[in-house]
Amino acid sequence: MSDTRRRVKVYTLNEDRQWDDRGTGHVSSTFVERLKGISLLVRAESDGSLLLESKISPNTAYQKQQDTLIVWSEADNYDLALSFQEKAGCDEIWEKICQVQGKDPAVDITQDPIDESEEERFEEIPETSHLVELPPCELGRLEEIADLVTSVLSSPIRREKLALALMSEGYIKKLLGLFRVCEDLDNREGLHHLYEIVRGVLFLNKAALFEVMFSDDCIMDVVGCLEYDPSLVQPKRHREFLTKTAKFKEVIPITDSELRQKIHQTYRVQYIQDIILPTPSVFEENFLSTLTSFIFFNKVEIVSMLQEDEKFLTEVFAQLTDEATDDSKRRELVNFVKEFCAFSQTLQPQNRDAFFKTLANLGILPALEIVMGMDDLQVRAAATDIFSYLVEFSPSMVREFVMQEPQQTDDDVLLINVVIKQMICDSDPELGGAVQLMGLLRTLIDPENMLASTNKTEKTEFLSFFYKYCMHVLTAPLLTCSGECCLHIHKGFSHTYTFLLLCLSFSKSSFMSCLTP
């Protein structure tokens, strides 16, 4: 199947409650004789191998999230997710799942999950006796609502019932309307109850509720509710920070409004999780797993959207290397690339490979060669961090680039020589930059991590290149150091000496032949 509607990524939730990428393929729904039922099949787009074979069980709770995700559990601690490239494909498969289960495709969850430990307890009780009934959304009922939300958190079944009630009655927006009223009246008791309510609703761990709470017209009111922690003498000023202190800088104008909205949303939700919400207790540790997944899939989508916008990234690198770009602008650009690379670390290996290959194709290494040699310390520090991401991702990619440089440039401005000079001349009293660069250089010339290279001659060619074009730069502090200087051992000499010892530890024969006249 070649159409993009059914193109999906398969994810499984690991023991650390993080999503692992199992591959990209195309999904279909078909009858599988061996499983005796309609099943979801995903075949890898690379080789046609079977990535997923899952029977659509009548009793499994499937959830549709963020328009392009279908999530379900097949067994204890084994959660699966299909992330669709297009909403249309997600809708088609969702309709098939609902058809098999006899459900209305308009719902976002097909079943009410039953916790096995409670199944027997509720077996003889009529269904209506454990439905959660919400009090009217009124100022005078806030304490009652807070007590109800808090009371259901220990019961998986009641959490599900409350979540369904909140979604079906548009209750969240009504509550946030009461928040604005309480603030206008300076009703601290009501605001404290709303803190407990909103915190409890987040702990219901439901993506459908998050979609409402984190929408543009609701999220700042959610943040506002979470400012009024009853344990604090004075409320926090999280909204003031998000609206006035935290500034969104567009180093290059983002024309895609959906992308801009997704970036804002992800930053704010991450802030809620990391800064506003208290560290969960052991009892609460799994209550926010869906929130973590919400942020994760948002980040995947942001990185993918930026990768696909070649005009945006091309302009970033063009301005980054343009001599006419002023210092402050260049600092913003290089910090953006640094944050972009850091963002990519949330991706699974397959996604990360595509990410760095895109950057390589756009010329990130030639750009680093320019900015790492600049006088601006902040620019150089950020460029070093970017360089470390690239070396960690693929030392071979960096080696391949630097071996092509002598044909195009002088020895003095070779990327590795720029790195060596920064290591030798590090102005940091703590020498943090020099130590970081020394580790990166060691990685690049260590023959042990060349053994897995597909290029069998990489070891010989790169080490020959290094000794021919770079060793004289590395040994310069040693060769020019007087006896008096040696007694004082300045920083450049010290780090050169240490690095040469490292070289000797894993490349003795080649190293000694280089120093032999």
Q: What is the pLDDT of residues 278-289, one digit of tens each?
A: 766 544 556 677
Q: What is the pLDDT of residue 218?
A: 96
Count Cβ atoms within 10 A of the Cβ of residue 233 and give its class: 0-12 exposed, 13-18 middle, 19 or more buried: exposed
Does the residue 169 lie in any domain?
Answer: yes
User: Has residue 132 been placed in a domain?
Assistant: no
Residues 483 and 377 in one domain: yes
Same domain, 156 and 249: yes
Q: What is the pLDDT of residues 305-353, one digit of tens each?
A: 888 887 888 899 899 888 888 888 989 999 999 988 888 877 777 778 8
pLDDT band of 502, cuts 50, 70, 90: low
pLDDT over threshold 80, residue 132: no
The whole-number average pLDDT for the span 114-136 is 50
Same domain as 215, residue 362: no
Residues 416 and 510 in one domain: yes
399 pLDDT more than 80: yes
Q: Count CA within 13 A, CB hemisphere, residue 252.
A: 21
Residues 369 and 251 in one domain: no
CATH number of the domain residue 474 falls in? 1.25.10.10
Q: Which pLDDT value is given to residue 496?
A: 52
Q: What is the mean pLDDT of the chain?
A: 81
- What pLDDT is attached to residue 262? 92
| Secondary structure (DSSP) of 418-480 | HHHHHHHT---TT-HHHHHHHHHHHHHH-GGGGTT-S-TTHHHHHHHHHHHHTHHHHHHHHHH
* 72 and 163 share one domain: no
Domain with 65, as residue range(s), is 4-101
Looking at per-residue confidence, does 249 or 11 come out higher?
Answer: 11
Q: Is residue 125 part of a domain?
A: no
pLDDT number for residue 139: 94
Higher local confidence (pLDDT), 153 or 178:
178
- Please give the tally of structural domains in the chain: 3
pLDDT: is 374 or 143 the higher one? 143
- Residue 37 sits at φ, ψ, to 5 deg, of 175, 170
Give, in degrees to the nearest 5, the angle at Cα 156 between 218 and 272: 30
Read off the pTM: 0.65
The answer to whether residue 273 is domain-embedded is no
Q: Examine the domain organization and report whether 417 and 474 are in the same domain.
A: yes
- 50: β partners: 43
Instruction: Please tell me whether residues 241 and 341 are part of one structural domain.
Output: no
> Over 50: is that where the pLDDT of 254 sits?
yes
The model's pLDDT over 41-56, given as tens digits with 9 standing for 90+, comes to: 999 888 888 999 999 9
In the chain, the percentage of residues whose pLDDT exceeds 70 is 82
Is the same domain home to 410 and 328?
Answer: yes
Position 133 in a domain: no
212 pLDDT more than 70: yes
CA nearest to 415, candidates 451, 455, 363: 363
Beta partners for residue 360, in sequence order: none
* Domain presence at residue 128: no
- Within this chain, do residues 322 and 403 fall inside the same structural domain, yes or no? yes
Question: Do 238 and 324 reside in the same domain of the chain?
Answer: no
Which pairs from 135-144 meet CB under 8 Å and 24+ separation?
A: 137/171, 137/174, 137/175, 137/178, 138/178, 139/178, 139/181, 139/182, 139/187, 139/190, 142/178, 142/190, 142/193, 142/194, 142/197, 143/189, 143/193
Higher pLDDT, 286 or 366: 366
User: What's the pLDDT score for residue 445?
Assistant: 85
Instruction: Spell out the residues 6+ positions from residue 35 whose beta carbon is closer than 8 angstroms to its own.
Output: 53, 55
Q: At what angle do helices 327-344 and 364-371 cross, to 10 degrees?
A: 130
Distance CA 126, CA 128 (A): 6
Q: Are 158 and 192 in contact (CB under 8 A)?
A: no
The two structure tokens encoding residue 369: 């060669």
Please say whether the beta carbons of 78 and 12 come within 8 A. yes
pLDDT band at 221 (very low <50, low <70, confident <90, very high): very high
270 found inside a domain: no
In a domain, 330, yes or no: yes
Residue written as tokens 């020959």?
A: 464
Confidence label for 299 from pLDDT (cuts 50, 70 and 90): confident
Domain boundary among 237, 256, 275: 256
